[in-house]
């Protein structure tokens, strides 16, 4: 970018003394425009991340509501962990069986302690 401005100089001073006033202003303006573009793309990326996070939260809220209606007994954190495991490729039926078995074991231990 700087070499482009220097090559356009008609006064010839840029090569000898650095940027002349006109080219210095053009160069600063160009630099500011690049920074503005970077900020705009960063803002767009942040907006996209916030949008994706909001969609994910809406999805988890809907899943939790279904879970509650079906009386699964899963809290939001446990449900979130189960969803992550399913997304990672764990078989949902096998996961459900593990959750049921853990509940049975927990109930059995609670009854034994009393």
pLDDT 10s digits, 7-41:
444 444 444 445 455 555 555 665 666 677 677 67
Half-sphere exposure of 46 (CA within 13 A, CB side): 6
pLDDT of residue 111: 84
Cβ–Cβ under 8 Å, residues 67 and 81: no
How much is the pLDDT for 10? 47
Cβ atoms of 19 and 6 within 8 Å: the answer is yes
Q: Give residue-wise pLDDT tens across range 41-97.
A: 777 777 888 888 888 888 899 999 999 998 988 999 998 899 889 989 999 999 999
């Amino acid at each position: 970018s700087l070499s482009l401005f220097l090559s356009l100089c008609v006064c010839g001073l840029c090569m000898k003394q650095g940027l002349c006033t006109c080219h210095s202003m053009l160069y600063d303006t160009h630099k500011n425009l690049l920074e503005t573009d970077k900020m705009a793309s960063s803002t767009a990326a942040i907006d996209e991340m916030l949008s994706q996070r909001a969609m994910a939260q809406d999805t988890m809220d809907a899943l939790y509501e279904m879970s509650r209606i079906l009386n699964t007994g899963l809290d939001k954190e446990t449900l979130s962990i189960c969803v992550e495991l399913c997304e990672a490729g764990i078989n949902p039926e096998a996961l459900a069986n593990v959750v049921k078995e853990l509940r049975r074991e927990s109930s059995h231990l609670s009854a034994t302690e009393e």
